[in-house]
Structure 1
């Protein structure tokens, strides 16, 4: 039973750190567009104008 008094604060701190990390990613705009990046890799790159380089 005494272990709960140690584990509860630790788990709350870990949860708060996760929440803080999530808030930082939302504020920095990392979660704005989740659909385009996976589709962008499917498009071919434009070929170079001089392929001998």
Structure 2
């Protein structure tokens, strides 16, 4: 029974400490933007880190994709 007399005040102190920390976090804006970091990872903001030669190769590969693929009629005419 003596342990209850120690644990109840200790529990109350811990709950009060938790509530103080939570209110401090809310006041400092820790919970203002909950969706921002989740969406930020989807943005491609590292174009400046791509070397110039890799950018040229990427531009060539995308321009090749824009051209239509040769059909069987095109290959037969050559």
Equivalenced residue count is: 52
TM (norm. structure 1) is 0.81
- Unaligned stretches of 5+ residues in structure 2: 53-78
Structure 1 or 2, whichever has the larger Rg, is 2
What value does the CA root-mean-square deviation take over the aligned residues? Answer: 1.9
Q: Hey, which of these two has a bigger chunk of helix by percent?
A: 2
Structure with greater contact order relative to length (CA < 8 Å, sep ≥ 6): 1
- Unaligned stretches of 5+ residues in structure 1: none
